[in-house]
Amino acid sequence: MNKENLELIIIGGGPAGLSAGIYASRAGLKTLILERGILGGIAATTDLIENYPGFPEGMKGMELAERMKRQCERFGVQIKNGEVNSIAKEENGFVIKSSLADYRTKAVIIATGSSPKRLNIPGEAELFGRGVSYCATCDGPLFKNQDIAVIGCGNSGLQEGLFLLNFVKSITFIEFLPYITADNILQERLKGENRVKFLLNHNPLSINGKNRVESITVMDRGTNEKKIISVSGIFIYVGLIPNSQIFKDIVHLDKNGFIHTNEELETSVPGIFAAGDVRAKRYRQVVIACSEGAIAAMNAYHYIKG
């Protein structure tokens, strides 16, 4: 058992977790952030974040995450790269078992965020990393002067599509719904772009190719007509699933796996809080995750101090 006497452990180093770390450490709590992947979460993989206050020209997701990290470390937060395996309640707090060590803490903030939802169609898993991607910033430059498809016409799909246009020859946007759900400002930026085509009310059926993506088969939901579109890359933005599986026997989740909290961001277990995209709510934005991280940290402070 790690003998370090921690007051707060934050599981997850995305915007919610980093914001919680800033507020907790400034309040004087001995705080550790455990992040299994890259700091900043999905936000760090976004090419340009334009709706975070204070940056009128927008900011690259990775840079925003790096600034949050430096701010945390400035106030004394420990940040470690490790995966949490379990949480157990004990008399004076919690025991967290991780890939690094076992820790004791008085309170916990779960800020594990979410992951891209899969289409679960033939070829998707088999061709992942060979033309199938969920991250335009990571993989966009690999498709220079090639034809690609973007699945999903929400904010993420169009935002990442705009970034991909810096490299690719053309984009076919494929949307299950009969309309585009992205903000008007993103739609306006694509108007008149002759390298873009929209297939609305279409359902992806399979991703095709032997060693790499060669095409995608879709079906018109109105006519049931099937089409094969030749592309060498497919970027998928069809929603998110919460990273909450390891907590399902500890705190109450909704039917989709998101963590239930009250307005104070308390879960069903006193001393465990949740913030960010892992929490059950309507809107998921970086600025909202940051505010929730702050609220969770302040309430964790009052819980710890009694």
Query: Any idea what the CATH number is for the domain that residue 184 is in?
Result: 3.50.50.60
Look at residues 218, 236, 254 and tell me which one is the last residue of a structural domain: 236
Query: Is 153 one of the annotated active-site residues of the chain?
Result: no
Residue 37 within a domain: yes
C-alpha distance from residue 205 to each of 28, 121, 169, 215 (Å):
53, 6, 24, 11
Q: Which of 205, 236, 267 is the last residue of a domain?
A: 236
> Do 229 and 246 belong to one domain?
no
Can you give the pTM of this predicted structure? 0.83
Q: Which helix (H) or strand (E) holds 123?
A: none
Q: What is the pLDDT of residue 278?
A: 97
Catalytic residue status for 290: no
Active site annotation includes 135: yes
- The residues near 77 (Cβ < 8 Å, ≥ 6 apart) are 21, 22, 24, 25, 31, 32, 33
Residue 126 lies in a domain: no
d(CA 19, CA 289): 8
pLDDT tens-place values along the chain, 306 residues long: 445 689 999 999 999 999 999 999 999 999 999 999 999 998 888 888 888 999 999 999 999 999 999 999 999 999 999 999 999 999 889 999 999 999 999 999 999 999 999 999 999 999 999 999 998 988 999 999 999 999 999 999 999 999 999 999 999 999 999 999 999 999 999 988 999 999 999 999 999 999 999 999 999 999 999 999 999 999 999 999 999 999 999 999 999 999 999 999 999 999 999 999 999 998 888 999 999 999 999 999 999 998
138 plus 41 within the same structural domain: no
Cβ neighbors of 74 (< 8 A, separation 6 or more) are none
- 47, 139, 277, 290: the catalytic one is 139
Which candidate in 102, 138, 183, 254 is catalytic?
A: 138
Question: CB atoms < 10 A from the CB of 96, how many?
Answer: 23
Answer yes or no: is 121 within a domain. no
246 and 198 in a common domain:
no
What pLDDT sits at residue 119? 97
Crossing angle (nearest 10°) for helices 15-26 and 286-305: 40
Question: Domain check: are 229 and 261 in the same one?
Answer: no
Tokens of 279: 């929490």
Q: What sign does the dihedral 102-108-113-119 (CA atoms) show?
A: positive
User: Among the three residues 236, 258, 275, which one is the final residue of a domain in this structure?
Assistant: 236
Structural domain including 171 reads 132-236
Is the domain of 284 the same as that of 187?
Answer: no
Total structural domains in the chain?
Answer: 2
